[in-house]
Amino acid sequence: MGKGKKQVSANVFRKLNVDINSKIPKDVCAEICDDISSILDRRIIPFGSTGLKDFSGDIDCIVECKNQDELWDQVVNSFEISHRSGKYIFILYKHPEAGFIQVDLVASREPQNDAWCLAGGLPNGTKGRYRNILLGYLANIKSKNTGTKITFASPGGLGEQKNKSKARITNPRLILDELGLACTIDQGRSLEGIIDWMIDNNEEQMLNGFDDYLRNPRDHMPDITEEVIKYINSRI
């Protein structure tokens, strides 16, 4: 999700002659999420780093909804400026003090589960994408061991790549269990939580080969990748 979404998200309102606030205080994020929830009359859960750090570049929200078309119709009728691209719906929200703010919405039948799949990691820790890469790596290892290709998607959960008729696993507890992780759901929200559980429970062999998996030709943040590997090595 990370790379494609961020490219679209960063450019979606670039042609408008407005200054978009890219340093949104945590309390303003919470206020806007509450307001959009009230306007749409739907449950909303922030995801990624929204609400975790002191400031956010935009606001990311999961919206409880049966399908995206239904949500899109509501957004168009409720907000002056909006845009739709793939699975994401974007709103240009005007806050009385913070100014124009971009809000990214994702429709979900299981908002709590999808919010976990889109977790942003710890407030001052590694980006959530690296937690997702680790879960993807463990899914890849299990695929090799069982002969059945499974993948982890964020959002979307865990499932067989070729068997589209079989529902993907979105429940965090079941995802962790399938990947051999007996850590708590809260620990499973971050790379650090999972790594620490592995080390504390003598399961560090699960990390064999993860450094090579991280260092792949498509890696667009090599400096952060090396920081992650350094953290893992310091714990081992």
Whichever domain contains 15, its CATH number is 3.30.460.10
Task: Examine the domain organization and report whether 9 and 88 are in the same domain.
Answer: yes
In a domain, 117, yes or no: no
How many domains are contained in the chain?
Answer: 2
Dig out the tokens for 199 from the structure. 């080390």
Dig out the tokens for 210 from the structure. 């993860």
CA-CA distance, 223 to 123, in Å (whole number)?
A: 19
What average pLDDT does this structure show over 125-131? 90
pLDDT at position 10, please?
Answer: 56
Dig out the tokens for 62 from the structure. 């999961």
In a domain, 100, yes or no: yes
In a domain, 114, yes or no: no
Q: How many CB atoms lie within 10 A of CB 86?
A: 10
Crossing angle of the two packed helices 222-235 and 128-146, in degrees rounded to 10: 70
Q: Write the pLDDT tens digit of every residue in 178-220.
A: 999 999 999 999 999 999 999 999 999 999 999 999 988 777 7
Task: Examine the domain organization and report whether 100 and 31 are in the same domain.
Answer: yes
Range of the domain at 154: 128-235
Is the pLDDT confidence value at 2 over 80? no
In a domain, 139, yes or no: yes
Dig out the tokens for 150 from the structure. 């499974």
Task: Examine the domain organization and report whether 104 and 136 are in the same domain.
Answer: no
Task: Examine the domain organization and report whether 40 and 87 are in the same domain.
Answer: yes
What average pLDDT does this structure show over 134-142? 96
Residues in the chain, how many?
Answer: 236
In a domain, 115, yes or no: no
Of 75, 109, 143, the position where a domain reaches its end is 109
In a domain, 12, yes or no: yes
